[in-house]
Structure 1
Amino acid sequence: MPKWKIFLWKLYHNGIATSANLSSRGLAISDTCPQCNMAPETSQHIFRRCHLATILWQSGQLGIQSNSNLDVDFQDWLIAWVHYFYQQDGYHGDRLPIFVATLWGIWQGRNKYVFNGVIQDLACIRSLVNQGIQQHFTYLAQPISKVHAWSADSGPPGFLFAHFGASFCGSPQAYIQVDGSWTPTSTSAGIAWVVDHISSHIREGQGSCIIAPSALSAEAKACLEALIWAQGHGLRHIMVYTDCEQLVQGLRHQGSQPNSIAWTLDDIRTIGQQFQWCRITKVSRLLVQQAHELATHMRKDKIPFQAF
């Protein structure tokens, strides 16, 4: 529903009018949660940590332990669950609207208390959640011209990734750019990866010159070698950036993967599953610029290995 889209957009950008947000913007109000008076009313607190929200999630249909992994930012937690339900159930699955309706019910219950003085309990919030779910199905029952359906492969807007590892929720230790550089006039290609370590703020890059039959093959090989490098250096949580949509789609949908890189994709999946948290994300060329420049250097100079 449009109101849910706006609500999720505000949640993701930390734009809802929590007490903590209003206080930080200069309003002369307390930033304490009005319902429990135990902590600042941030999105993290309202939707994950506040006692009523914790019980609601745990006892609900989804059985989410919202107060676990509290070192994960609320926005990352939100997106992780949205993508998890989309990946598991598809765009028209049942769990994604239940998840959004639960967030919506928590916020509506909070506003009823703040603006109308209506004290909320578990039964009240559940009633609001159920109302949201019913409104969702009513909206879906409208003529198809009023419902903007998503392509089966598009995913939520702006987010195309393949996820591997033991955990779906988490945050990366390092961001790794990967890229391949190839020209049709030669079988030589350059591959490179550039790693930004979050805790130490250190950047390092490596690459090599290889034989590759296509640009896609070079890109896939760069991704594979980056994962092998990350695993060998003890990294357990990594975010990999690539500007190759075909690579990510091939990793997401094994049945339709390009035959030319099928073996490489299988190797990427095998190694990816050995991480605790591994996400390979399609991004713009700008976000892999350093890896692109290094890969081009490798291809032109035919240097077998380089680090900085």
Structure 2
Amino acid sequence: MWKVGNGEGIHVWRDRWLSNGVPINCNRAVAADFGIEKVSHLISSLIGGWNRTIIEMIFPPTTVAEILAIPLPHQRGPDMLFWPDNQHGNYTTKAGYRFILGVKASSVASSSRAAQFTAGFWKAMWGSDSLPRCKELVWRCCQGAVPIRAELVRRGIAEYPICPLCEETEETIDHAFMSCSLVRRVWFASVLSVRMEENTTGLGTFLQELLVCADMVVAGKVCSLIYDVWEARNRWVFDGDPFDCRRVLQRAVSLSPAPASSSSQGCQQRSFASSWLRPPEGRFKLNFDASVLGDGSAGLGMVVRDVDGMVLAAATESNVCVLSPVQGEALCMRWAIALAIDLGFRHVLLETDCLQLFDMWRSKGRGRSYLATMVQEARTLSCHFDFIDLCFVRRSGNSVADYFARNAVSYGQRVWVEDVPPAVLPLVNGDILSSAPVV
């Protein structure tokens, strides 16, 4: 796929430069009147960005949103090809393998169980804080590869499809892990307190909605609970051991992995601050955040504070089109760094709650994707500082920047110097009190 630089090497109607391929539904007559052939013809030389007026006259709204979300580089270099299926844009054998698997999966009938799950769900499930065997069972449930009685009868292996626990109805995957009366007690008595009798969407939809929004700990509890429900069911079927709700819950707790040692690697083992901390003497902390709305636009927010926690500057930017949440975070970082330069800060400690962006900044690897280009441009701007670094903080420690991002639509494009809106003062004072030095 083509990545837009100056747009002079990309043909609008023949080359693939949008995620859904070449533009098809468009007003070719208007495009011909304006002589639109190259992508560079859609870029305004006056404002240095996309010519929104021309684009809206030619393309339908969905295509307009995607074009405007393409971040044009500050330094317009030549266009280049990149691999769009990973965040760095570089082709690897692993990326090609995943692409082939995706093509095969897309050819499966729409009734396939695997078709309903998104990449975000698989990431949340495999990254959950649970043992590998628990994650594997959840994966098997999603693939319909669990030997429950209804499936065994269908394959001619068993004779009776009735659930062995409640003996009330056919044992399907949804029934075995959700609808069975004994299993519903386990879900409700657990720390999750889920009322399964109110859930009629099926196990797949339930997991999709729950795990995508949950953190690693909650996702891990879900996976562990599902595993022990299955384990307790099998103890009853093969050993005659009664299904005990309290025993299931105790076993699920014991399945939680032990805390990782300091030598362990991986995102889950790293220790990050969960609250805002004051910067060292002589430096300023710049927190930034992006809030993506349902229409693909985003609000940006940033705040600069000193060692006493006092706000020296804050800013918002609204109606910014983005392709993904992480791209919104990268765009926000580039915007915040440029603004810090204009405001005269030279010793800056950046702070983000986007772990993926933090990892890309730390890796210092060069990529070909839009995301990698924005991170590289942010690094290029860092030459204007005497000191600059990026740290990660959990969302609870980024509340002020998050407030500005979520309310950017109301504030619009605005900069505050040594002042903040009254509504944000409680958050600022809370950070000051929680980070006060111990006397």
TM-score (norm 1): 0.43
Give the structure with higher Rg (CA).
2
**TM-score where L is the length of structure 2:** 0.31
